[in-house]
Structure 1
Amino acid sequence: MPDASDAPPRHSWRPRGNVLALSAVSFLTDASSEIIAPLLPLFLVGTLGTSVKMVGIIEGGAEAVASLLKLLSGWWSDRVARRKPLIVAGYTIASLVRPLVALAQSGTQVLLIRLTDRVGKGIRGAPRDALLAASAPLAERGRVFGFHRAADHAGAVVGPLIALACLSGLGMAVRDVFWVAAVPGALAVVVAVLFVKDVAVPPHAALPHAALPHAAAPVRSSATEVAAAAPLPRHFWRTLAPILLFTLGNSTDAFLLLRASQLGVPTALLPLLWVALHVVKSASSTPGGALSDRVGRRPLIVTGWLLYAAVYAGFALAAHPWHAWALFALYGVVFGLTEGTEKAFVADLVPTERRGTAFGWYHGLVGFAALPASVVFGTVWDAWSSGTAFFMGAGLALAAAAWLALLPATPPRVAPS
C-alpha cells in the first residue's frame, strides 16, 4: 500500500503573467487613490469652503460617469478584440489628473478633476476584468478574481497609511500630500505598459470546447465578429437582476463610518477603522474566490449576502463602540466572499468574445444603482432613524439572496477558457 510520500507533490498556487501584473497595477492605483480619498472631504469643506451637498455631487457625478464609460469600453474592447490599449489609457488618464487636486482652488475644479479621474476608471474597468478572465484557467477563475481584489484592497490599506505618515511624520501640508499620490500612480502605468499582455480572442470561442490560445496579439475572424455582436445570454440578465436588487440596499460605506461615530468611536480612530476594514477585505478575498471554485459561485454569493444582511441588522441594533469594530470586520468578510466571486460568475455566464460587454453592463448598472441606493438610505436615515435605514438594507439583501438562490440552474459554462 503506498504511503503519503508516493503521492504527487501539491504545489501552492502563485499568480503569474497578467494576473500578477494587473493585480500589481490595481494595488499601486488604489494606493495612489486612497492617499487622497480620506483627505478629500475635509479638504473640500475645510479648505475650499464647499458645501456637504457639493461633496455628494462630486462623488455621485464621478461614479455615474465611470459607470457609463464602463458600458462603452467593455463593448468596444469586444469589437476590436483588444483589451490592453483601453486598460493602459484608463490608468494613464487617472494617474495624470488625480494629483492635480493639489492645485484646485474651488469645488468646481475638484469636480472636473474627479470626473476625468473616473473617466480613466470607466475606460479600464470592463476590459481589465475581461482580460483577467481570459488569463485564468476555469478551475482557478474565482481565486484569480479574489486575488486581484485582495491586491486592490491592500492598496487601500497602504494609501491612507502613506497619507498619515506624510501628515504626521513628515509634517507635510495636505496639498503636498496630494502630489505624493503621483508616485504610485506613475508606477502603475509603467507596470501596465511593460507587463500586461493582450490575450487573443479565439475565433470560435463561443463553442463549448474551444481552447484559448495564449497569444500576444489578438486575431479577428468573421466568426468572431459575428459572435461579438450577438446578444448576451438570457441567463446573464436573469442573474444580474438580483445583483441589482442587492446593490439598491448596498449604500455608500460612508454611512457605516457615520454610524460608528454615533456608537462612540472617536473621530481620530475612524481612519484606523477604515484601514482595518480593508485589511479584512484583502485577507479574505483570495480564499473567498478560491472557495467559489470549489463550492460554486451562487452558494457563496448567497452566503455573503446573508452575512451582509446580518451585519446591517447588527449596525441597526448596535449600542457600543466595540460593536462597530466587530461589525466592520464581518463586513470585510462579506467582500471577500462576494466581490471576486461575482466577477468570476459574470465570466462564467458569457462567451469569451462577449465578456467585455458583459462586464461593462455589470459594472455600469451596479454603478448606476449605487447612487439611488445611497440617496434613499440617507433619506430614510433623516426621516426616521439610522436603525430603520440599516434594517431596510438588510431586508433588500435578504430578498436578493432568496431571489438568486431560487433562480433556475444556469446552463453549462459557454466559455471554458
Structure 2
Amino acid sequence: MRPKLPRTIWMLGLTSLLMDGSSEIVHAVLPLLLVNGLGASVFLVGIIDGLAEATASVTKIFSGALSDHWQSRKWIAAFGYGLSACSKALFPIAATPLAVFFGRFADRLGKGIRGAPRDALVADWVAPEHRGYAYGVRQAMDNMGAVIGPLLAILLLQLYAGDVTPVLWWAVVPAVLSVSVMMIGVQEAQSDAPRVARPFPLKASELRQLGRPFWLAMGFLFILLLPRFSEAFQILRAQDVGVPAAWAPMALVVMNLVSVPLTPLAGSWSDRVGRNKVIGLGFLLLIASHVAMALATGPMLVWIGAGIWGVHLALTQGIFSALVADHAPAHLRGTAFGVFNLAAGIAIFVGSAAMGFAWDQLGAGTAFALAAAVNALGLVLFLLSRRA
C-alpha cells in the first residue's frame, strides 16, 4: 500500500505540471523556429539550450542556500515560477537568435530560483522512507505537463498552418495558472524545532557538513550526466530522418508518455532496493536510447529511442532528488539541491555544446554514437565509485 502524501506535494505537482506544459510548448517549437525560421545552426541551438540550462543550475545553488538561511522555501520558489511565467511573453516577439536566448535565459533563471527550494520543500513534508515515492509523484506530474505541452504544440501548429508565433502566445496561459496554484495551494512545512539564526550556507565550514560521500557522488554524477544533453536534439533528429517539422515534437510526447506512469513506481522501487541500482539501470537504458538514435534512418528508431529515453528519465529524475535528500542534513537541504543542480547544469551545458558541434562536424548518427560511448564510460565510473 502506497503512503498518503500531504496536499502540498500534490499542489507542487500541479504547479510543475502547468509550468512544464507551458515550457514544453515553447521547447517543442523553439528548435524549429531557430533552425527553420531564424537560420541558426544546430551548434547554436545546443549553445543556447546549454547556456540556458547552466544558468538555471548556477542559480539553484544560491536560491537553495537562501532557503536554508531564511528558513523559508515557498516564496523563493513562487518568485522563480513568476519569473518563468513572465519570460514566456518574450518568445512570440523574438526576431533573432539573441532575443530567443534572452527569453530562454529568463525562463531558466526562474527555473533555477524555484528548483532547489521546491525540492527541499518536498523533503520537509515527507518521511525519509517515502521520499522516493514522493519525488516520483511530483516528477510524474511534471512529466505529464511535458506530454501535454508538445501535444498542444502539434495541434496548434496544425491549427495555425505552421506559424509558431501564436503557438508561443498560448504558452503564457498555463504559466500564469501555475503561479496561481503555487501561491494559493502550497504551504511551508511546520517544524517543532525553534527558529535559530544560521550562518549563510555557502561557506567552507558549512559546505563541509555535507560530507565527503556527498561530494564524491557529485563528481561522478557530473560525468554520468554529460551525455544527457538537451532534449531539443530529439526533435532535430526526428526532422533529420524525414519527420515533418510540425510533427517532430512528437519525440518529446513519446518520451514523456512513457515516463509518466513509470516515475512513481521507480521512486517507490528505489525506496525498497536502494537508489544506486535504479540509477545504474536508468543510465544503461540511456546508452540504448543513444544507440537507437544513432542507427535511425527513419522515424521508427527515433520513436523507440525517445521511448527508451523516457524510461531512463523515470529511473533517474526523481531518484536523484531522493538521493540528495538522503545525504543532506535537514538544515542544508536547499544548499545540497543547489550543489547537485549546479553540477547537473554544467554537465548538460558541456554535453549540449559538444553534441551540437559533433552534429555539425560529423553528422547526427556519429554524434549520438559518441554520446553512447561517453555514457558507457560515465556509467562504469559511477558503478565503481558507488561500490568503493
Fold equivalence (TM over 0.5): yes
Verify: 1:133 aligned to 2:111, yes or no.
no
Separation in structure 2 between the aligned mates of residue 403 and residue 374 of structure 1, nearest angstrom: 21
- Verify: 1:192 aligned to 2:182, yes or no: yes
1:118 equivalent in structure 2: 108
| Residue in 2 that maps onto 1:3 | none
Give the percent of matched residue pairs that are identical in Structure 1 and Structure 2. 37
Contact preservation (8 Å) 2:296, 2:302: yes
Letter in 2 for 1:220: R
Distance in 1 of aligned mates of 2:40 and 2:240: 24
Please say if 1:67 is aligned against 2:67.
Answer: no
Is 1:27 paired with 2:22?
Answer: no
- Per residue, is there more helix in 1 or in 2? 2
Find 1:148's aligned residue among 129, 138, 155: 138
Distance 1:247 1:297 in 2: 16
Q: Displacement of 1:166 after TM fit?
A: 3.3
CA contact (8 A) 1:81 1:200 kept: no
- Could you tell me how far 1:28 is from its partner in structure 2? 0.4
Match of 2:195 among 215, 220, 227: 220
- TM-score, length-scaled by structure 2: 0.89
Change (3 A) 1:69 1:202: farther
Q: Residues 157 and 270 (structure 1 numbering): CA distance in 2 closer, same or farther, change over 3 Å?
A: same
AA aligned to 1:108 is: L
Q: What residue is the counterpart of 1:207 in the other structure?
A: none
Work out the CA distance in 1 between the residues paired with 2:152 and 2:298.
Answer: 30
Deviations along 1:100-149, one digit per CA (max 9) or x if unpaired, are 32233443333323222222111111111111111122121111111111
Counterpart Cα distance in 2 of 1:172 and 1:251: 27
Does structure 1 conserve the Cα–Cα contact (< 8 Å) formed by 2:132 and 2:318? yes
Residues 352 and 175 of structure 1, relative CA distance in 2, 3 Å threshold: same
Distance 1:226 1:329, change over 3 A: closer
Q: Find the counterpart in structure 2 of residue 94 from structure 1.
A: 84
Q: 1:117 to 1:317 in 2, by over 3 A?
A: closer
Task: Give yes or no for contact 2:288–2:308 (8 Å, CA) kept in 1.
Answer: no
Tell me, yes or no, if the aligned pair for 2:154 and 2:249 is still in contact at 8 Å.
no
Q: Counterpart of 1:255?
A: 233
Instruction: Confirm or deny: 8 A CA contact 2:234 2:251 kept in the other structure.
Output: no
Task: Write out per-residue CA displacement over residues 376-417 of structure 1, whole angstroms, 9 at most, x where no aligned residue.
Answer: 23333444454443333223323333333333579xxxxxxx
Instruction: Encode CA deviations 1:13-44: one digit per residue, 9 max, x unaligned.
Output: 45432210110000000111122222223334
CA gap 1:68/1:311 in 2 versus in 1, 3 angstroms: same
CA distance 1:161–1:306, change in 2 (3 Å)? closer
Matches of residues 223-302 of structure 1 in structure 2 within 5 Å?
A: 229=206, 231=208, 232-302=210-280
One-letter amino acid of the structure 2 residue matched with residue 401 of structure 1? L
Q: Greater relative contact order (Cα 8 A, min sep 6): structure 1 or 2?
A: 2
Deviations 1:140-187 (A, max 9, x none): 111111111111111111122223333434779533332222221111
Give a deviation string over 1:357-388, Cα, whole Å, max 9, x none: 11101111110111121222333344445444
Which of the numbers 282, 290, 314 marks the counterpart of 1:336?
Answer: 314
Aligned-residue offset at 1:46: 4.9
2:290 corresponding residue in structure 1: 312
Distance 1:166 1:381, change over 3 A: closer
Q: TM-score, normalised by structure 1?
A: 0.83
SS at match of 2:90: helix
User: 1:199 deviation in Å?
Assistant: 1.8
Which of these two proteins has the greater Rg computed from alpha carbons? 1
User: What's the RMSD between the two structures over aligned residues?
Assistant: 2.7
What residue number does 1:7 align with? none
Q: Is 2:379 the partner of 1:401?
A: yes
SS at match of 2:188: coil
| Change beyond 3 A, Cα 1:169–1:299 | same
Contact 2:21–2:145 at 8 Å: present in 1 too?
yes
Deviations 1:334-370 (A, max 9, x none): 1111111111001101111111111101111110111
Q: Identify if the C-alpha distance between structure 1 residues 271 and 50 changes in structure 2 by more than 3 Å, giving closer, same or farther.
A: closer
Contact 2:56 2:111 in 1 (8 A): yes
Distance 1:73 1:339, change over 3 A: same
Query: 1:290 & 1:341 partners in 2: Cα distance?
Result: 9
Q: Which residue of 2 aligns with 1:163?
A: 153
Answer yes or no: is the 8 Å Cα contact 1:27–1:155 preserved in 2: yes
Cα gap change, 1:407 to 1:196, in 2 (>3 Å):
same
Q: Deviations over 1:55-98 (max 9, x none)?
A: 44433332232121111111111111111111010001111221
How far apart in 1 are the matches of 2:164 and 2:239?
23
- Call closer, same or farther: CA 1:127–1:376 in 2, change over 3 Å: same
Label 1:42 to 1:284 Cα distance change in 2 as closer, same or farther (>3 A). same
Cα separation, partners in 2 of 1:227 and 1:43, compared to 1, 3 Å: closer
- In structure 2, the residue matched to 1:361 is 339
Q: Find the residue that maps to 1:249 and give its secondary structure.
A: coil
CA distance, structure 2, for counterparts of residue 49 and residue 392 of structure 1:
26
Separation in 1, partners of 2:379, 2:151: 35
Alignment of 1:391 onto 2:369:
yes
Shift of 1:238: 1.1
Amino acid aligned to 2:81: Y
Does the 8 A contact of 1:201 with 1:352 survive in 2? no
